[in-house]
């Protein structure tokens, strides 16, 4: 029997999961179970670069655990765990940091973006890509599903793995990126990338009335009902096509181009598509979210699976560098 390749991805517990998280990372990650062995983690170390509320960090970690459970992750066959429960990741981070130039970190998008906005940059944010590389390499990850905006981090990870292997011999698995172009960047309420930092998100498991209210707030141009509209440039349609099949997309696109349809109608159609896809998962989420003992059990099981692999990788690295 051919062994499945391992897929790895992480998500920060910095807020309530939203549609951008779902489409950009969670949904592809869940589907990856069909073809890969999956290791997915809550990136709570990464969250510390900006989060200063301990209780929020813990609660958002539970939000994510309940979300993955509700959307169908198989915790018996696959691993879901906290980043901070795996001490080996910080050890590998140091080994990689010793091979990383300051210039490489200065070219990282997250650092450049924060610097351009005049934000204070702590060393956690500056060295963020090194920890991210360790997150990936510590589990012998073969593939990493990422959005277009995360592609650079994967390239840095590959560079560091190749550099280590060049210096010390074949040790680390060099991962490949899997990018789904259609859902690489999800538009938020204002048309920018959906992000908590932009305050433009649509909560993943919002009650039906709240979900509809959020969809109705999506920004559009000022064209009247009668005017012909371009679906490809419309934020509503861009979101709708992530939840609709080709036939439904074509039908709505034709209504845009024919004129006689207002954006309110398009938003209602978009709302119904999102509601229908997430209804069952939303009900399950609200049933288990308050059961912390159950959620901790999921995380404990994932930790055991992850540490078994991580210890082996760190042992190889320590041996190669002479420790």
Sheet holding 176-178, edge to edge: 79-82, 37-42, 6-11, 143-145, 176-178
pLDDT at 118: 77
CB 29 within 8 A of CB 145: yes
| Residue 27 belongs to a domain | yes
**Across all residues in the chain, what is the average pLDDT?**
93
Indicate the angle between helix axes 151-168 and 128-137, nearest 10 degrees: 70
| Residue 190 belongs to a domain | no
CB 161 within 8 A of CB 175: yes
Please write the tens of the pLDDT for every residue from 280-297. 999 999 999 999 999 999
CB 305 within 8 A of CB 81: yes
| Residue 301 belongs to a domain | yes
pLDDT at 182: 56
Task: Please indicate, yes or no, whether residues 159 and 307 belong to a single structural domain of this protein.
Answer: yes
| Residue 60 belongs to a domain | yes
Task: Please indicate, yes or no, whether residues 307 and 256 belong to a single structural domain of this protein.
Answer: no
User: Tokens 């589907």 appear where?
Assistant: 31
CB 138 within 8 A of CB 311: no
| Residue 195 belongs to a domain | no
Domain that holds residue 219: 205-285
Helix, strand, coil shares of the chain as percentages rounded to 5? Answer: 60, 10, 35
Task: Please indicate, yes or no, whether residues 85 and 231 belong to a single structural domain of this protein.
Answer: no
Task: Please indicate, yes or no, whether residues 261 and 177 belong to a single structural domain of this protein.
Answer: no
Is a pLDDT exceeding 90 seen at residue 25?
no
Share of the chain above pLDDT 70, in %: 97
Is a pLDDT exceeding 70 seen at residue 99?
yes
- CA pair distance 183, 29, nearest whole angstrom: 13
| E strand intervals along the chain | 6-11, 37-42, 79-82, 143-145, 176-178
Length of the chain (residues): 323
Please write the tens of the pLDDT for every residue from 49-69. 888 899 999 999 999 999 999
- CA pair distance 146, 150, nearest whole angstrom: 6
Task: Please indicate, yes or no, whether residues 11 and 119 belong to a single structural domain of this protein.
Answer: yes
Question: What separation in angstroms does the CA of 103 have from each of 111, 141, 156, 221?
Answer: 11, 26, 12, 42
- CA pair distance 161, 173, nearest whole angstrom: 7
Band the pLDDT of 224: cuts 50, 70, 90.
Answer: very high
CB 69 within 8 A of CB 42: no
Please write the tens of the pLDDT for every residue from 165-209. 999 999 999 999 987 665 557 899 999 999 988 999 999 999 999
Structure tokens at 122: 């702590």
pLDDT at 257: 97
Rounded to two decimals, the pTM is 0.89
pLDDT at 1: 44
> What is the mean pLDDT of the segment spanning 139-167?
90
pLDDT at 259: 94
CATH code for position 244:
1.10.240.10
Query: Residues 236-269, buried b or exposed e (16+ Cβ, 10 A)?
Result: bbbbbbbbbeeeebeebbebbeeeebebeebbeb
| Residue 1 belongs to a domain | no
Task: Please indicate, yes or no, whether residues 298 and 281 belong to a single structural domain of this protein.
Answer: no
Torsion, Cα 108 111 116 119, to 10 degrees, reads 180
CATH code for position 144:
3.40.50.620
Close Cβ partners of 15 (under 8 Å, ≥ 6 residues apart): 60, 196, 201
pLDDT at 238: 94
Task: Please indicate, yes or no, whether residues 263 and 296 belong to a single structural domain of this protein.
Answer: no
Task: Please indicate, yes or no, whether residues 47 and 178 belong to a single structural domain of this protein.
Answer: yes
pLDDT at 167: 97
- Flag the least confident range among 47-51, 94-98, 147-151: 147-151
pLDDT at 277: 98
**Domain count across the chain:** 2
Is a pLDDT exceeding 60 seen at residue 43?
yes
Task: Please indicate, yes or no, whether residues 151 and 259 belong to a single structural domain of this protein.
Answer: no
Task: Please indicate, yes or no, whether residues 224 and 77 belong to a single structural domain of this protein.
Answer: no
Is a pLDDT exceeding 90 seen at residue 152?
no
| Residue 197 belongs to a domain | no
- CA pair distance 294, 312, nearest whole angstrom: 29
Task: Please indicate, yes or no, whether residues 98 and 61 belong to a single structural domain of this protein.
Answer: yes
| Angle 152-155-159 from CA coordinates, rounded to 5° | 140
> What is the mean pLDDT of the segment spanning 204-231?
97
Structure tokens at 146: 């990422």
| Residue 210 belongs to a domain | yes
Kindly state the helix (H) or strand (E) to which residue 289 belongs, with its residue range.
Answer: none
Task: Please indicate, yes or no, whether residues 127 and 254 belong to a single structural domain of this protein.
Answer: no
Share of the chain above pLDDT 90, in %: 78
CA proximity to 78, closest of 316, 302, 318 = 302
pLDDT at 2: 54
């Amino acid at each position: 029997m051919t062994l499945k390749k391992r897929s790895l991805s992480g998500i920060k517990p910095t807020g309530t999961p939203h549609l951008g998280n779902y489409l950009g990372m969670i949904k592809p990650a869940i589907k990856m179970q069909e073809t890969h062995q999956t290791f997915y983690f809550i990136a709570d170390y990464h969250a510390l670069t900006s989060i200063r509320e301990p209780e929020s960090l813990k609660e958002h970690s539970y939000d994510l655990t309940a979300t993955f459970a509700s959307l169908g992750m198989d915790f018996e066959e696959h691993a879901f765990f906290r980043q901070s429960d795996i001490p080996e990741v910080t050890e590998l981070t140091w080994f990689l940091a010793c091979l990383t130039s300051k210039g490489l970190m200065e070219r990282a998008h997250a650092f450049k973006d924060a610097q351009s906005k005049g934000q204070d940059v702590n060393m956690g944010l500056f060295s963020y890509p090194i920890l991210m590389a360790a997150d990936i390499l510590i589990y012998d990850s073969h593939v990493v599903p990422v959005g277009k905006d995360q592609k650079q981090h994967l390239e840095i990870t590959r560079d560091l793995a190749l550099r280590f292997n060049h210096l010390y011999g074949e040790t680390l698995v060099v991962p490949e990126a899997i990018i789904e172009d259609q859902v690489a960047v999800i538009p938020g309420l204002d048309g920018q990338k959906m992000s908590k930092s932009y305050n433009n998100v649509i909560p993943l498991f919002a009650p039906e009335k709240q979900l509809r209210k959020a969809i109705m707030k999506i920004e559009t141009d000022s064209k009247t009902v009668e005017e012909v509209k371009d679906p490809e440039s419309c934020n509503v349609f861009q979101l709708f096509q992530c939840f609709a099949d080709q036939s439904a997309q074509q039908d709505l696109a034709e209504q845009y181009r024919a004129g006689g349809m207002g954006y309110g109608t398009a938003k209602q159609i978009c709302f119904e598509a999102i509601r229908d896809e997430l209804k069952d998962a939303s009900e399950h989420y609200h049933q288990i979210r308050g059961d912390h003992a159950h959620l901790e059990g999921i995380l404990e099981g994932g930790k055991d699976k992850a540490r078994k692999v991580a210890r082996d990788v760190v042992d190889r690295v320590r041996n190669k560098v002479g420790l």
